[in-house]
Amino acid sequence: MPIPDLYRLDELFTEEQRLIQRTVRDFVDEKILPGVRQWNRDAVFPVELIPEMAALGLLGATIQGWGCAGVDYVAYGLIAQELERGDSGFRSFVSVQNGLSMYPLLAFGSEEQKDRWLPPMARGEVVGCFALTEPDFGSDPGGLITQARRTAGGWVLNGVKRWSTNATIADLAVIWAKDEAGVIRGFLVEKGTPGMTAPEITGKLSLRVSVSSEVHLDDCHIPAENALPGAVGLKTALMCLNQARYSIAWGAVGAALACFEEAVEYAQTRIQFDRPIAGFQLVQAKLARMWTEITNARLLVLRLGQMMDQGKAHHAAVSMAKRYNVQTALETARTCRDLLGASGIVDDYHVFRHMANLESVYTYEGTHDIHTLILGQELTGLAAYA
Ligand SMILES: Cc1cc2nc3c(=O)[nH]c(=O)nc-3n(C[C@H](O)[C@H](O)[C@H](O)COP(=O)(O)OP(=O)(O)OC[C@H]3O[C@@H](n4cnc5c(N)ncnc54)[C@H](O)[C@@H]3O)c2cc1C
């Protein structure tokens, strides 16, 4: 049973936004939910669905031109929400393709780079990845040690990246490295370039329907035209992360809704002490709290989306939404798992998979605590990172 829309939030979306949401919802119902349990067991991302996501206009969704759909940020948020209702892995794929691969090209690439790469990326023929994190530099990316040294014809890259989503299956990697002056720059490295390998990280207990990789760069030579001309300084990498964090904040709502809908239905049908557990006050208290929190999360991202469309979204506002919504989703998933009792720990139900996924989402794209510190700095003017 769908959860009643108590605050009539659906009325705040345009007809076009609702149509996009329904389209993605149908895709998730028909193409993702039937297979997701097995993909999660096998730890595979079904690459065969990439062309279908591309055909729906989900790749580069907010970009105007180059064959992209050019939808507004609220519609893009609804896309992320519906995808993550299926599994965080699909929303991660789209966040990385859009915010971390196509956005850096759009914002910092040359016209030639945009014309060459954006159309096939929109068609899903070229998969992108973004490699900023290193084994010893996660929350502190400014310390990264991957080197970019100028050569006669271009650059040579050396270093190791870790936790790069999609890298093993990627055709194009956006690599962040320091030049001889210690300035962080973004580079494009094409699949098959000698010196680059991207082994998959195995043994994950979270985000299993998503490819996570290391990227090894050993004297990897790239031509001068593969440097992103505008990607100079850590700030430019952080601008990409801001794009991805926006979609994460919306996506978390989808994961929370999936868990909540499953738990409400379960509580109404699970009989203990001769009555549905939904009739117990302690259960209703949990449901009431989750419903309110999810409604809050939905309002937060809707307003954030409007500000994104107006070009007025401060990066701290994005941090606030990522932090609050992912925490809300994770707490919702844990409470829903509790409400399902022992049934909550098997994959006949979706809650445990979402709960495990959200542990990664809580950590990536700036951990929960790093977003706390971003907000603290914005409020007080004092940076408390170090
Ligand atoms: C599934 C997955 C996919 C990912 N995809 C990508 C990707 O595509 N590209 C990419 O570049 N990276 C990616 N990442 C990496 C991700 O962004 C990092 O994991 C994240 O930034 C945290 O870094 P870390 O794991 O090294 O943790 P650390 O930075 O080592 O943090 C460990 C703990 O210390 C805390 N901490 C750190 N510094 C402070 C501080 N100053 N004050 C208080 N507490 C602090 C953190 O909050 C955390 O609790 C991915 C990660 C995962 C799990």
CATH number of the domain to which 28 belongs: 1.10.540.10
84 contacts 255 by C-beta, under 8 angstroms: yes
Are residues 227 and 322 both part of a single domain? no
Q: Which pTM was predicted? A: 0.98
Q: Residue 259: which domain range?
A: 235-380
Which of the four pLDDT bands, split at 50, 70 and 90, describes residue 1?
Answer: low
Residues 176-214 have pLDDT tens digits of 999 999 999 999 999 999 999 999 999 999 999 999 999
Q: Could you say which DSSP state residue 101 is in?
A: I
Q: What pLDDT, in 10s, does the model give residues 33-62? A: 999 999 999 999 999 999 999 999 999 999
Tens of pLDDT, residues 207-240:
999 999 999 999 999 999 999 999 999 999 999 9
Q: How far apart are CA 200 and CA 214, in angstroms?
A: 6
Nearest CA to ligand 1 atom 9: 164
Q: Are residues 220 and 241 in the same domain?
A: no
374 and 269 housed in the same domain:
yes
φ, ψ of residue 197 in degrees (nearest 5) = -130, 155
Same-domain check for residues 21 and 58: yes
CB-CB contact of 120 with 126 (8 Å): yes
Half-sphere exposure of 128 (CA within 13 A, CB side): 26
Closest ligand 1 atom to Cα of 385:
41
- Please check whether residue 54 is in contact with residue 63, taking contact to mean a CB–CB distance below 8 angstroms: no
What is the average pLDDT across 61-79?
Answer: 98
Instruction: Please state the atom number of ligand 1 nearest to the C-alpha of residue 137.
Output: 26
Cβ < 6 Å from ligand 1: which residues? 96, 130-133, 138-139, 163-165, 207, 212, 360, 363-365, 367, 369-370, 373, 385
Q: What is the mean pLDDT of the chain?
A: 98
Q: Which of 92, 132, 162, 163 to mutate to test the pocket of ligand 1 (most atoms within 8 A of CB)?
A: 163
R_g (Cα) of the chain, nearest Å: 21
Count of domains in the chain? Answer: 3
Residue 365 appears among annotated catalytic residues:
yes
27 CA → ligand 1 middle, Å: 31
Query: Residue 198: inside a domain, yes or no?
Result: yes
Q: Which of 16, 190, 365, 378 is catalytic?
A: 365
Query: Cα(20)–Cα(283) distance, rounded to whole angstroms?
Result: 34
Contact 249, 300 (CB under 8 A): yes
Looking at 100, 122, 144, which one is the last position of a domain?
A: 122
Is the pLDDT at 2 greater than 80? The verdict is: no
Cα 214 to ligand 1 centre (Å): 14
Question: Same domain for 147 and 166?
Answer: yes
How much distance in Å is there from the Cα of 360 to the middle of ligand 1? 9
